[in-house]
Amino acid sequence: MRRKNASRTKRRNYRRKMRQYNSRSRLFNGNVERPGEFIFVWALILVYLVGIWIFFLNTGLNKCDYVRTNLVYEGSYRKEDRIILTLSGEEYRAWASLCDLDGIYALGGGEVLSVITVKDDVICINFDNKELLSLEDSERRDADRKKSVSLALGICAAVWLIYVAASVYVMCNAQRFPRLVRLFVKPSYLTRPPRK
């Protein structure tokens, strides 16, 4: 009689455990509680990387922002890797490495320059049919900067996706990798599958 009761109790406990186990999420094979939190954080970090990439692509030179004007040269000085030009009472910046510095320093006050500006930056300077700053050089420098930022963010996104793929694999196979799963998930988030 006791064997029947013990067997019945064991079956009942097993069914109860199976109901609890089956009510858990099937995501990650039911090995992780609240799996939606992991997916939300993973997606949030990926969206953040894409957002930074889009921001850097939009901060560069944009042809619709170009303003071509004639401005009066009043003076200039060097500040680190930039040259600050005072044109018609306002200060503009240009990359010193791209400019013909000898030509700019040879200018006298009151000379009229044909320039292309984008906000506070000068990207092209022409004086007396001579280019002191080439538009092509400025656009090439901007394209190189965008390319390097895109490459760096692409590498970060690829590393992040590899991490996500590895963590998904380990979480789905938590019983096979009991020590490794602790690198990806806190032990309090892990569930234990029922045993007979």
Residue from 27, 7, 77 nearest 189 by CA: 27
196: pLDDT strictly greater than 50: no
CB atoms within 10 A of CB 100: 15
Residue from 30, 37, 35 nearest 192 by CA: 30
CA–CA distance from 61 to each of 15, 122, 139, 140 (Å)?
66, 11, 7, 10
Question: What distance in Å separates the CA atoms of residue 186 and residue 131, rounded to the nearest whole number?
Answer: 62
Q: What is the pLDDT of residues 55-112, one digit of tens each?
A: 988 887 888 888 999 999 999 898 888 999 999 889 999 988 898 888 888 888 888 9
Res. 194 pLDDT band, cuts 50 70 90: very low
Q: What is the pLDDT of residues 38-58, one digit of tens each?
A: 889 999 999 999 999 999 888
| Residue carrying structure tokens 């949030």 | 44
The full set of domain ranges for the chain reads: 63-145
β-pair type (67-79, 112-118): antiparallel
Is CATH 2.40.50.140 correct for 63-145? yes
> What pTM, to 2 d.p., does this model score?
0.67
Residue from 56, 133, 145 nearest 95 by CA: 133
Residue from 118, 123, 133, 99 nearest 58 by CA: 118
